[in-house]
Structure 1
Amino acid sequence: MTRTLMITGANRGLGHAIAARFVTEGWRVAMLNRTPGGPGTALDIRCDLRDPAQLADAFHRALEHLGRLDVCVANAAVRTFDSVTHMTAEAWDDAVAVNLSGAFRLAQLAIPVLRDSNGHLVFVGSQAATHPFEGGGAYCATKAALKALHEVIVLENGESGMRCSLLSAGAIRNRPMANDGWKIRPDHVAQVLWDIVGLEAGAFVGEVEVRPTRPLPAPVTGIARLQTL
């Protein structure tokens, strides 16, 4: 039986690396992307997570294509960096809508299906949830709330057979930027996720952190703090 994966935000970076890894392993993959992209053999469905109706429609289309759901990965996120005093209301609302509400609504849709399949829900979090930095008010707050949401889902589904994991990484080399040589390669994080979902059903990883082997030398400020952990 071919196993199946549904993932959000797989058009580039970590999401693309995750989708590509599962495709390589022979899984059937469906991606929910605001911007098209991803491995060519995976189903690519245009979806803006800020729109609940669009998300529900995309989820059911992806599920119909997959036939069943073994692993669902909530990966999509927006990163808006600005001080609390200068951040616009629109930027804050956008971060909450994608990083938190989008993950929440995806979980609502996926959990009943994953209970039936004894499947695995994975939230892609961030070390920003526990290591805040200047300019990261929206990003840090939404990732911290996602961490709490994950814990609640674990408690509520302890006897269902469904597993739920939180994968939190430091700075990932998602796009060309400064300090790339110090950041974690997306395929390395994808490997960790692959290992997590590959555990036998009698155990699961509740939460795991992925850190760079060579931390950026201090002193640093802003998001670069995630490269010093």
Structure 2
Amino acid sequence: MLENKVAYITGGTKGIGFGIAKVLLENGVSVAFSGRKRDDVEKAEQDLRQYSQDVLGIVSDVRNLESENEAVRYIKEKFGRLDFVIANAGLGIFKPVDQLSAEEWNDMIETNLTGVFYTLKATVEELKKTEGYYITVSSLAGANFFENGTGYNASKFGVVGFTQAAMIDLRKYNIKSTVIMPGSVATHFNGNIPSEKDAWKIQPEDMGNLVLDILKMNPRVLPSKIEFRATKPGN
């Protein structure tokens, strides 16, 4: 069902994006992924080749539309098509609102929200051709506000609203759109180093398996918003 399909994953060098890439590659999908740092992209590409040779690492910054347009050109040159887009790149800076700088605010909004728009803007014409799928990774922070979360909450609330509105715009082209809202995930996010203490959390491969399930659903159904959390939160 997924053979000969091509996916593009932003923020794919580690964590959630890497986990999604791994699962898709294991299930016959060709995967292009992006990250900001060349060293991280090259290492992730090498690591992912153990699952499939049909992988392409791209240095791209979702905060820059031309950078995302260039990423799509690379994907077309390598694979000739684009079927699935997973807008996953994200950034979290957690401070009281009176201590959050304008630069920190802008960096979160530009990465987490504007980047989601730029990724769709760069890929939408290709998705029209394949009647593809556009998936965004928001967070439970897109529905639940918390202390020190003003910038992060604002960006993730925005991703939920953006994706659901985009769903209505895009379905007339037979493009499906889903926003995933995970809770705690065992990743390097916010300086965490995954270890046994994170065993209770959602694992990156769990996110990959969720995306796989979404892509395998009958075309007549659309899970437009999915909340995804650990069964038993840790301490």
TM-score (norm. length: structure 1): 0.90
Q: 1:149 aligns with which of 138, 162, 182?
A: 162
Question: Secondary structure at the residue paired with 2:146?
Answer: coil
Question: Secondary structure at the residue paired with 2:61?
Answer: coil
Equivalent position of 1:8 in the other structure: 10
Amino acid at match of 1:180: D
Q: 1:73 aligns with which of 86, 93, 99?
A: 86
Offset of residue 113 of structure 1: 1.4
Question: Secondary structure at the residue paired with 2:163?
Answer: helix
Equivalent position of 2:126 in the other structure: 113
Offset of residue 168 of structure 1: 0.8
Relative to structure 1, is the Cα distance of residues 174 and 95 closer, same or farther in structure 2, using a 3 angstrom cutoff?
same
Q: 1:102 aligns with which of 106, 115, 119?
A: 115
After the TM superposition, which parts of structure 1 deviate over 4 Å for at least 4 consecutive aligned residues? none
Question: Secondary structure at the residue paired with 2:172?
Answer: coil
Which deviations, in whole Å up to 9, do the C-alpha atoms of 1:97-156 show, x marking residues without a partner? Answer: 110111101111222211221110000110001111111111111010011111111111
CA RMSD of aligned residues (A): 1.5
% same residue? 26
Equivalent position of 1:165 in the other structure: 178
The structure with higher relative contact order (CA 8 Å, sep 6+) is 2
Counting helix residues as a fraction of each chain, which structure ranks higher?
Answer: 2
8 Å CA contact 1:31–1:45 kept in 2: the answer is yes
Question: Secondary structure at the residue paired with 2:96?
Answer: coil
What are structure 1's unaligned runs of at least 5 residues? 218-229
Question: Secondary structure at the residue paired with 1:98?
Answer: helix
Pair 1:197 & 2:220 matched: no
Equivalent position of 1:214 in the other structure: 232
Aligned residue pairs total: 217
Pair 1:19 & 2:1 matched: no
Distance, in Å, in 2 between the alignment partners of 1:153 and 1:200 is 20
Which deviations, in whole Å up to 9, do the C-alpha atoms of 1:33-89 show, x marking residues without a partner? Answer: 113124133100111222222222122212322211111000000111111110111
